[in-house]
Structure 1
Amino acid sequence: MNERHRFWQRALRLLSLGIPREASSAFLGNEPSWQQEHWLRSLQKEKQNVIDWDGRLADIPFVIVDMETTGFSPQQGDEILAIAAAKTVNGRVIDTYATLVRPEQPIPTSISALTGITEDDVAPAPPLAEALRTFVPFIAAGVLTGYHIGHDLAFLRHALWRHYRQKWAGRFVDMQPIVRLVRHPCPTLDEALACYGIECVRRHTADGDVEAMAELWGILLKELRGRGIDTLHDLYAVLSRH
């Protein structure tokens, strides 16, 4: 393993734990000692305690994520083709991220037909290991959310482990059970968008889907507040009962 790869492995390890870049920078020049490891774990525990249970939904950064992939199973060789994310606070988008990803295998024709992503599109794109270096810092400071977010998390976790032997331990919440809680069952994103009258003109593109989900998330936050669900603890608690 060369020094450059070791650097990024350490950097993504800290960021995947949610450690701020300014706090982790001191450890990127050498291997962490056990004292440093203990300090990092303490910092992460303190950070999670503040965000996870006491934070008001209106104050917590939620990062809406979507990925276009060649299938449903990274363990079976399916790959990421595009990644997009929107960092939001109180339902307002404050920053965005988007990139195509150059896969290792040819894109199936059915996936190109669905997503519009072709071999020519991804030829100049970064490989996944490189894309992670900008994507992980973007999402590390917030709670991830999306419609059926488990799909995206499966690919994120697989990618981090495969390329950097790191685990993702950040918090997340799925929009689909929230829609079921405040309105009625909508098994698919298309049904949820139709239910709320949200148009997604670039459906099945990562940034297009994130844009539509950001609008949906803003509405859901208002509906949650209307039901007296004000904190992340409140939200986790009520979802656990449904």
Structure 2
Amino acid sequence: MSTLLQETTFVVVDLETTGASPKKGAAITEIGAVKVQGGQIIGEFKTFVNPLAPIPLYITEMTGITDLMLAKAPIIDEVFPTFLEFAGSHNQTVLVAHNAPFDLAFLKSAAKDLNYAWPTYKTLDTVTVARQVLTKEDVPDCKLGTLAQFFGTKTEPNHRALDDAKATVEVLHGLFERLGSLEITTLEGLLDFAKTAAHIQRKNYWGLSSI
């Protein structure tokens, strides 16, 4: 049976980190997530995470997050199970992120480090969808800030986890309107579209705009 998009529960997540990759020792400093269904927000999750290491200056300059702000924050061991509880069952939830491979890499790395089995969530990358439904005439690139401006989001992205997650929710809903004109109204249709879009974009890698 097909699941209508308006009946699907999406958890839109955004992370702030100390660097670009957990493989290079970077760690999560902030998690923000918004749970939505039928265009309505039904839950929010926000927490700082103490990375147990100094934050590079360029990260502080970009996010405004300082070592002092994280000094008394919980460590990932405490935060991760709470986040999974918020996200819910992989049978009922679709995880969404802007540039999802980045966020998923950190979440899956945390799961591995903490000996958690990562739930087999269906996932959606708003970058992938945007690159397929918007043209260069619409937007010069698919950065979150650019898409937020294009769709006129109420929340302005600012490199803070919850605000960026909220902006991504609005971008997601804007993309859904575009997909409706393509008669994509079900979760299965959306995931098939995103999978095909990702394949097309990989084949044309050098033609992609930066995020």
- State the TM-score, normalized to the length of structure 1: 0.73
Q: Is the 8 A contact 2:156 2:163 kept in 1?
A: yes
Identify the residue that residue 197 of structure 1 maps to in structure 2: 152
- Structure 1 residue 199, shift from structure 2 partner: 5.4
Mapped partners of 1:241, 1:164: distance in 2: 33
Q: Is the 8 A contact 2:31 2:161 kept in 1?
A: yes
The answer for unaligned runs of 5 or more in structure 1 is 1-49
Q: Is the 8 A contact 1:90 1:218 kept in 2?
A: no
Which amino acid is the alignment partner of residue 143 of structure 2? Answer: T
> Structure 1 140/133 Cα, relative in aligned 2: closer, same or farther at 3 Å?
same
Identify the residue that residue 74 of structure 2 maps to in structure 1: 126
Identify the residue that residue 149 of structure 1 maps to in structure 2: 100
Is 1:239 aligned with 2:194?
yes
- Structure 1 residue 240, shift from structure 2 partner: 3.3
Is 1:62 aligned with 2:10?
yes
Is 1:172 aligned with 2:123?
yes
Mapped partners of 1:107, 1:211: distance in 2: 24
Q: Secondary structure at the match of 1:153?
A: helix
- State the TM-score, normalized to the length of structure 2: 0.84
Per residue, is there more helix in 1 or in 2?
1
Q: Is the 8 A contact 2:33 2:162 kept in 1?
A: yes
Q: Is the 8 A contact 1:157 1:168 kept in 2?
A: no
Is 1:88 aligned with 2:39?
no
Q: Deviations over 1:10-48 (max 9, x none)?
A: xxxxxxxxxxxxxxxxxxxxxxxxxxxxxxxxxxxxxxx
- Structure 1 residue 222, shift from structure 2 partner: 2.3
Q: Is the 8 A contact 1:160 1:168 kept in 2?
A: no
For 1:158, which of 78, 95, 109 is the aligned residue?
A: 109
Mapped partners of 1:207, 1:80: distance in 2: 14
- Structure 1 residue 168, shift from structure 2 partner: 3.7
Q: Deviations over 1:88-128 (max 9, x none)?
A: 00222111000000111111111111111111111111000
Identify the residue that residue 230 of structure 1 maps to in structure 2: 185
Identify the residue that residue 187 of structure 1 maps to in structure 2: 142
Mapped partners of 1:145, 1:175: distance in 2: 7
Structure 1 segments (4+ residues) deviating >6 Å:
none
Larger Rg: 1
For 2:176, which of 216, 221, 237 is the aligned residue?
A: 221
Identify the residue that residue 65 of structure 2 maps to in structure 1: 117
Mapped partners of 2:195, 2:55: distance in 1: 39
Residues 115-124 or 181-190, more deviating: 181-190
> Structure 1 154/168 Cα, relative in aligned 2: closer, same or farther at 3 Å?
farther
Q: Is the 8 A contact 2:16 2:29 kept in 1?
A: yes
Mapped partners of 2:106, 2:196: distance in 1: 28
Q: Is the 8 A contact 1:92 1:218 kept in 2?
A: no
Q: Secondary structure at the match of 2:33?
A: strand
